[in-house]
Structure 1
Amino acid sequence: MNYEVNRPLARCPSHPGALLEDIIPATGKTKVEIASMLGISRQQLYDIIGERKPVSPSVAARLGKMFGDGAAIWLRMQAGYDAWHAERETDLSKVPTLKVA
């Protein structure tokens, strides 16, 4: 299945923390309350929101349960963000591209 990218490819995909920054106020809960309900520290949540820490599979499962959208969406967002950065920050100049016969 092919998916179309709805953003310029030169633009970094959003970190999952950016989405949390938008979603949390709509819940009527504070960040401290959300962290407690997720079973993570307030600092861990603030680090994710501040894009200083990634969303781990465990946190993705918790977010997926809390917001009813499943872990996969959170993991895909994190993977897209990580891959975009890796492709730009890793020296790939000596890695060949192979053609499969």
Structure 2
Amino acid sequence: MPTKRSPAHPGGILKRHYLEPLSLTISMVATALGVSRKTVSKIVNEHGDITPDMSLRLAKAFRTTPELWLNLQRNYDLWHASHDSHAWQRARIVMAHSTHGSAHSRSAWAF
């Protein structure tokens, strides 16, 4: 069941746990990451996403893992998809739980 409170945007985590405590500016981080100031600004201000490429850059710069950044982004995106869009609720179950035979057998399909 989805939670009521949104997970933190990865840009907020970057700002609160890395930039502020280390007294880093957006320009300093952009230079270290080899990206534009605009790119980092969008992420820090929660208007940009963490891409796989950016996760690798952040992991190297802050000695974390790319998975940390990608998981933060994934959790944020999934929460918003489940709360902001009801389209997913119209999806139908394709596979019924089956205790007999293979899950790939035609009888397991629930149409």
Does the TM-score normalized on the shorter chain lie above 0.5?
A: yes
In structure 1, what is the equivalent of residue 96 of structure 2? Answer: 99
Match of 1:31 in 2: 26
TM-score w.r.t. the length of structure 2 is 0.77
**Does 1:81 pair with 2:76?**
yes
Normalising by structure 1, we get a TM-score of 0.84
Q: 1:17 aligns with which of 6, 11, 18?
A: 11
Counterpart code for 1:60: S
Deviation at 1:20, TM superposition (A): 1.2
Q: Would you say how many aligned residue pairs link Structure 1 and Structure 2?
A: 94
* Alignment gaps of 5+ in structure 1: 1-7
**2: distance between equivalents of 1:40 and 1:94?**
40
Q: 1:11 aligns to what SS in structure 2?
A: coil
User: What SS does the corresponding residue of 1:93 show, helix, strand or coil?
Assistant: helix
- What secondary structure is seen at the aligned counterpart in 2 of 1:32? helix
| Cα offset, 1:26, TM superposition | 1.8
Question: Aligned-pair RMSD on alpha carbons?
Answer: 1.6
1:41 Cα offset (Å):
0.6
Larger radius of gyration: 2
For residues 31-81 of structure 1, what are the alpha-carbon distances to aligned partners after superposition, in whole Å with 9 as ceiling and x for unaligned?
201111001110110100111110111011110111111100000000000
Give the deviation of 1:25 after TM superposition: 2.0
User: Structure 1 residue 82: deviation in Å?
Assistant: 0.4
Q: Secondary structure at the match of 1:26?
A: coil
**Between 60-69 and 22-31, the greater mean CA deviation after superposition:** 22-31
